[in-house]
Structure 1
Amino acid sequence: MTSLAVTGHMDLTEESVPLVRAALRELLAQYSDDLTGVSCIAAGSDSLFAEEVTALGGRLVVVIPSRDYRARKVKPDHAPVFDHLIQAADDVVTLPHETANRAAYEAANAEVLKRADRLVAVWDGAPPSGKGGGTADTVEEAHAAGLPVDVVWPDGATRRG
């Protein structure tokens, strides 16, 4: 069994979503015989990854950063996808943090890496912001832990702002 974790940008442009989805589908198809995907199912890359894992018949493990994450951080436009992925998950792990904050996100990133054989990074290659808990930080943590990283950033993909 191959266990792939995901990290990625939440702020993909609308035009980038089909490009990223197709690139993820192509990458994940290599592992479709016995695939487990590990995701925090945040809006953007994390949820696209989780949707593609389930579409391929893979097992989905969801890591929720805090007890209040759904109520405080899941925006109304993402709530239907979030709730669907929770229902589709084979396992949902809610971390013991009470509040969704930087420490909770960093703990969630560490948890997804702990559960993975490889990391899929939907990442434009930008360096860490210095705040911690972001995509580039997670890529650095994976490298430090000796996990292979597959970067997905198809031609034409962009971020908002």
Structure 2
Amino acid sequence: MTRIGVTGHMNITADTAAMVYDEITRMLSAAGPSNELVGISCIARGADSVFAQAVLDIGGRLEVVLPCRNYRERKVKQDHAEQFDALLDRADVVNVLDFDVAGPEAYEAANETLVGSSDRLIAVWDGKPSEQGGTGTVVEFARGKGVPVDIVWPTGSSRA
């Protein structure tokens, strides 16, 4: 099994999401047989959900890491709820971390869980420094753990 995780910006534009989807689909297809692919995602809006959809569309299996027990109720906005629920329903594994609320500790634990269970990490990242727990922090953490990181930020990409 090839296990690939994702981190990335939540606030990518619709045009960027389409370009990112195409690039991720290409990368995942090149990673080996789709029946041996496991994609690991927190399925947040933006990059995480784009990645999860690409994994499923090419026939891979999806593992979801949720930072806390009430993540869906407290953090998933109305305009992302339908996609979130559809991805969650199609996940083979859902790992809900033992936190009551979403916060820095829960997000850090989710990132550590995701990176720790991945052979590679795809980062949908514009390369700019981020706040603690943001995409840049996760990239640094993965590299520090020896997890290879592939950066996806197609020419013309932007954040909303």
Which category describes the TM-score, using the shorter chain as reference length?
A: over 0.9
Q: Distance in 1 between matches of 2:6 and 2:134?
A: 12
- The 5-angstrom pairing of residues 116-127 of structure 1 reads 116-127=118-129
Query: Which residue of structure 1 lines up, in the alignment, with residue 80 of structure 2?
Result: 78
TM-score normalised to structure 1 length = 0.96
- For residue 22 of structure 2, what is the aligned residue in structure 1? 22
Query: Could you give the per-residue CA deviations for residues 48-91 of structure 1, whole angstroms, max 9, x where no partner exists?
Result: 00000001110110000001110010001100111011110000
1:146 Cα deviation after fit: 0.4
Deviation at 1:45, TM superposition (A): 0.2
Unaligned runs of 5+ in 2: none
Could you tell me which residue of structure 2 aligns to residue 2 of structure 1? 2
Q: Is the 8 A contact 1:35 1:58 kept in 2?
A: yes
Structure 2 equivalent of residue 13 of structure 1: 13
Deviation at 1:128?
Answer: 2.6
TM-score, normalised relative to structure 2: 0.96
1:32, distance to aligned residue in structure 2 (A): 4.6
Aligned residue runs from structure 1 range 38-117, under 5 A: 38-117=40-119
Question: What percentage of residue pairs aligned between the two structures are identical?
Answer: 49
The 2-side partners of 1:59 and 1:22 are apart by 18
Q: Secondary structure at the match of 1:3?
A: strand
The code of the aligned residue for 2:20 comes to V
Are the aligned partners of 1:32 and 1:58 in contact in 2 as well (CA < 8 Å)?
Answer: no
Letter in 1 for 2:77: K
Count of residues in Structure 1 that have an aligned counterpart in Structure 2: 158
CA RMSD of aligned residues (A): 0.8
- SS of the residue corresponding to residue 14 of structure 2 reads coil
Moved more, 93-102 or 24-33: 24-33
Which residue does the alignment assign to 2:145? 145
Q: Deviations over 1:136-159 (max 9, x none)?
A: 000000000001000000011100
